[in-house]
A and B are shown apart, each in its own frame.
Chain A
Amino acid sequence: MKSALSQLSFARPRTLEEALTLLRDEPLVPIAGATDLYVGLNFGTLKAQRFLDITRLEELRGISVTGDRLVIGAGTTYTTIMHSASVRAHWPILADAASQVGGVQIQNRGTLGGNVANASPAGDTLPVLAVADAILQLRSAQSQRAVPFNSFYTGYRQTVLRPDELIVSIELPMVEGKQWFRKVGTRAAQAISKLVMAAVRTEAPRIALGSVAPTPLRLRRTEAALAGGSSIEDAIGVLQTEITPIDDLRSSEAYRRAVAGNLLRRFWAS
């Protein structure tokens, strides 16, 4: 394990342009806070490789409001997000999600872009980005494209991100209506399941769940049922047809289904 770590090499560019050129010319793995990547390395599940350290890139850091969007650099840490007045004003549930990730040590290092690119269906910020209809700005040396967050994932830990691309920023269009966020179970208590729901209460409610499908999931049909005046019990019935949770180390399918239904009920009663 430790000898494998000694084999790793790091490119540490100072500008985005330099980083994208390096990424075009050779296969490199971007590394930000390392809070996902180094866990894999310590377990020996990741092979020795060449990393592109993106923590020096100013272009990936910071939070701003541009027109009707909250724009967050992909390299922005949870600590910065949870203390940002702009985030608290426009997307308070993103601040809530950030403040519930890991402990202080992880919040100080882990980044929003890392959570998105890591593509775990259990990523805590992902349901928030799903209900925000967030837009990901992707850059390569040759191109720039804007990909809707809700079409970024194509399957379990699969994304449309190309090997020569970086996520530069994440844009959250502002929204009217009350925002709601709940995380059930904590990371420190591994035995307990972790389910995350994010929602916005508007005429057309928006609802998303983590850890109930191969990707973070927007519950479009449940949303339509509630918008169309269905009872909460009928809507929970629809929700059960939309989710496909599995049994795994953390919890059972039946438990996840029960928690998902309860979360919807609590959101609707809030």
Chain B
Amino acid sequence: MRLTLNGAVTDVEAAPGRRLLDVLREECGLTGTKEGCGEGECGACTVLMNGQLVVSCLVPFAQAEGAEIRTIEGVGDHALQQHFMSEAGAQCGICTPGMVMTASTLSRDATLEDIRIALAGNLCRCTGYEAIYRAIQRARAATSA
């Protein structure tokens, strides 16, 4: 099956019912995408599919045919990742790739409220979110400067 993976047209052999999450990790070697809950609640497995945020644990691989998939390995927003580190927006790190994927879709003038709404589908058991919000705000401020 053919799809565009982080910008490169790619052919992947995998059963159509497998979760996009497992195919990315096990067939494509893209282990940056994490599994948290496996039931759509935590957002750890978030990727972009045709420009939209989706939880890859609830996407049958069949539906990714012809799609453009972008994972944490291809997000390219290094300011964001830097600030997650410097603001301690990551502790155990399971939630971080999903958080960064979601944050990467926010515009530069996103308010704290916009950030909260956007991250409603990304859970973090460690940090209590404030550091994450701060990391995103700092990164956004840095890119607009």
**Contact in complex: B52, A108 (CB < 8 Å):** yes
Using C-beta atoms within 8 Å of the partner chain, give the interface range for chain B.
20 to 34
How many A-B residue pairs lie within 8 Å, measured between CB atoms?
Answer: 92
Q: Which of B96-145 contact A (CB under 8 A)?
A: 102, 117-123
Is B57 interfacial (CB 8 A cutoff)? yes
Majority secondary structure of chain A interface residues (helix, strand, loop or mixed): mixed
A interface residues, tally (CB under 8 Å)? 30
Q: In the complex the two chains form, is A10's CB within 8 Å of B60's CB?
A: yes
Query: Taking the complex as formed, is B89 at the interface, i.e. its CB lies under 8 A from any CB of chain A?
Result: no
Contact yes or no, A35 B19, CB < 8 A? no
Query: Do B120 and A39 touch (CB < 8 A)?
Result: no
In the complex, the answer to whether A188 meets B123 with C-beta atoms within 8 Å is yes
Contact B53 A108 (CB under 8 A): yes
Interface: B41 (CB within 8 A): yes
B40 in contact with A105 (CB, 8 Å): yes
Residue A229 at the chain B interface, CB threshold 8 Å: no
Query: Shortest CB–CB separation between residue B27 and chain A, in angstroms?
Result: 12
Among A1-9, A166-174, A193-201, the stretch that binds chain B is: A1-9
Q: A12-B65, A38-B19 are in contact. Are A103 and B58 (CB under 8 A)?
A: no
B37-59, CB < 8 A from A:
38-41, 43, 46, 52-55, 57-59
Q: Which residue of A lies closest to B122 (CB)?
A: A103
Chain A, residue nearest B41 (CB): A188
Interface residues of B in 14-54 (CB under 8 A from A): 15-19, 22, 38-41, 43, 46, 52-54
> A234 to chain B: closest CB distance in Å?
39
Contacts of A104 in B (CB 8 A): 53, 102, 117-118, 120-121
The yes or no answer to B63 lying at the interface (CB within 8 A) is yes
A42 an interface residue at 8 Å Cβ cutoff? yes
Q: Are B54 and A108 in contact (CB under 8 A)?
A: yes
Contact A79 B52 (CB under 8 A): yes
Q: Does B12 contact A (CB under 8 A)?
A: no
Asked if B19 and A12 sit within 8 Å, CB to CB, the answer is no
Which of A5, A79, A187 counts the most B-chain CB atoms under 10 A from its CB?
A5
Contacts of B19 in A (CB 8 A): 5, 38, 42
B88 within 8 A of A: no
A49 (CB) vs chain B CBs: closest residue: B17
Report yes or no: A103 in contact with B43, Cβ–Cβ below 8 A.
Answer: yes
**0/1 string, A91-113, CB within 8 A of B gives 1:** 00000000000111110110000
Q: Which residues of A have CB within 8 Å of B85?
A: none
Question: CA separation between A34 and B54, bound complex, in Å?
Answer: 11
B17 and A8 contacting across the interface, CB-CB below 8 Å: yes
A55 at the interface (CB under 8 A from B): yes
Interface membership of B9, Cβ < 8 A: no
For residue A72, CB closer than 8 A to chain B, the reply is no
Bound-state Cα–Cα, A53 to B63, Å:
8
Known: A6-B18, A10-B17, A12-B65. A105 touches B60 (CB 8 A): no
Q: Nearest 4 A-B pairs (CB), nearest first?
A: A103-B121, A8-B17, A10-B62, A6-B15
